[in-house]
Amino acid sequence: MGLHKKVTQLHNELMELRNNGVTRTLRQHLSSDYPDYYPQDPEHALEHLFNELDIKPNTMEVQQLVSLAEGDENMKWLWYEILLSAIHKGITNIDFTKELIAVTVTKQNSDTLTQPYIITEDMKTTKGKDVAPGVSFELDKIKVGQKTIKSKKKGRALEIPYETIRYSPINLIGQFFQGFGSVIIADKLATLIDVLTNGDNGRDQSDELIDESAGTIGVYSSTNGITYKDILRASVRLWRLGRPTGHMIGDENTMIDILDLDEFKKREAGVERAKLNLRGKIRVPENGYVHEDIATKKLIVISKDNCIGEFVTQGLMIEKDKDIIRQLHELAASFIVGYMILHRNARVIVNGNANFTSWPSLYDIVRPK
């Protein structure tokens, strides 16, 4: 089945997906939606399409492809998809947002999302009641509020002189656009970290700001900073709240210190002298991430399945144009996304600069008497 005359159709299918918040490259689309196109090796279906179009990315210069695109609609959209694929690869090289997201919601043509949230204080004050068989009864009610959040458009623009890319091979210029992808995703990562730390700026039915900021605890000794025992303290408490942990984020120096702890770097033969199996298998985070927006000597411990959701209005969109007078190719990349806190007590900040005093009330384990 040849697709060399259907590149425009493929591009239109991809644009429809992107308008619905799904970011997918041409390579991914061929592999997932056209498995019979190149069944021998679906992962290299894009290379097979290049062969059909007599395109050799290692040697063909960008100018040659652009010239072909001026007289062939299919080639025009192929150049667009090659650009986007390179940018997308640069994004995926450093993007860890998907690894922290519990749920993704796509809502086209709207930048607002309404979600329920449990009013935390009600969880502490309501009580279970004895109920006799066959007798009508009333129970204390846990109130559920309504929270509205907004997604925001983030984007970057790029101006490239004609001469800069005209005589570069397609593969080489692809490396350049991968770097542009890394710059684009930096905005998205910064937004995620800000929401994890400070909350999602959600508002209730009265348009009042809801405090969804992370709680903070100190460590056993601020002289020693964050130790394995401090990470255990955070993991045990979140597990008791039904928020098992598996991920943590810190700045570069903090994560290097964490990786340098004996518990993470040393290997020992044999087994523990004594073994204690805690019901529920409390987990210490096994996945670490680095981001410069986390303050020094602070660590965010996260329950990935309960903490944060992603609200997508528009997936990655690439727009390009020419400025003939200035002899420039103009490229703009953007996405519209928001993040929402699902459960405020599903993450905690461990502050290595302060000694532990007590847990903030939002992490209280309360059982009615």
Residue pLDDT, tens place only, 30-48: 888 888 877 877 778 888 8
Residue 31: inside a domain: yes
Q: What is the DSSP letter of 226?
A: S
pLDDT score recorded for residue 247: 94
Tens of pLDDT, residue by residue over 217-248, are: 999 999 999 999 999 999 999 998 889 999 99
Residue 122 reports pLDDT greater than 50:
no
Whether the CB-CB separation of 241 and 364 falls below 8 Å is answered with no
Kindly state the average pLDDT of the residues 130-139: 58
Tens of pLDDT, residue by residue over 3-31, are: 767 888 888 888 888 777 677 888 888 88
Residues making up the chain, counted from first to last:
369
Residue 149: inside a domain: no
Which of the listed ranges 104-113, 172-181, 266-275, 282-291 does the model predict with the highest average pLDDT? 282-291
- String of DSSP letters for 309-364: EEEEEEEEEEEEEEETTTTEEEEEEEEEEEEEES-GGGEEEEEEEEE-----GGG-
Whether the CB-CB separation of 280 and 334 falls below 8 Å is answered with no
What is the domain range of residue 183? 7-96+154-198+318-336
Residue 76: inside a domain: yes
Whether the CB-CB separation of 87 and 180 falls below 8 Å is answered with yes
Residue 253 reports pLDDT greater than 50:
yes
- Burial letters 290-304, b for 16+ CB under 10 A, else e: ebeebeebbbbbbbb
Q: Which residue has the higher pLDDT, 59 or 100?
A: 100
Confidence of residue 52 (pLDDT cuts 50, 70, 90): confident
Residue 193: inside a domain: yes
Contacts of 270 (CB under 8 A, 6+ apart): none
Calculate what percentage of the chain has a pLDDT beyond 70.
81
Tens of pLDDT, residue by residue over 316-355, are: 777 777 666 666 767 787 888 889 999 999 999 999 999 9
Q: Which residue has the higher pLDDT, 270 or 305?
A: 305
Residue 112: inside a domain: no
Kindly state the average pLDDT of the residues 115-126: 56
Out of 108-112, 138-142, 289-293, pick the least confident: 138-142
Whether the CB-CB separation of 245 and 303 falls below 8 Å is answered with yes
pLDDT score recorded for residue 120: 52
| Domain tally, the chain | 1
pLDDT score recorded for residue 35: 82
What SS3 class is residue 142? Answer: coil
Q: Which residue has the higher pLDDT, 285 or 308?
A: 308
Contacts of 74 (CB under 8 A, 6+ apart): 4, 5, 6, 7, 8, 53
Residue 40: inside a domain: yes
Kindly state the average pLDDT of the residues 153-160: 78
Confidence of residue 193 (pLDDT cuts 50, 70, 90): very high
CA 355/CA 225 separation, integer angstroms: 9
Confidence of residue 119 (pLDDT cuts 50, 70, 90): low
pLDDT score recorded for residue 4: 66
pLDDT score recorded for residue 141: 53
Residue 208: inside a domain: no
Residue 161: inside a domain: yes
pLDDT score recorded for residue 129: 58
Q: Which residue has the higher pLDDT, 200 or 41?
A: 200
Kindly state the average pLDDT of the residues 287-314: 92
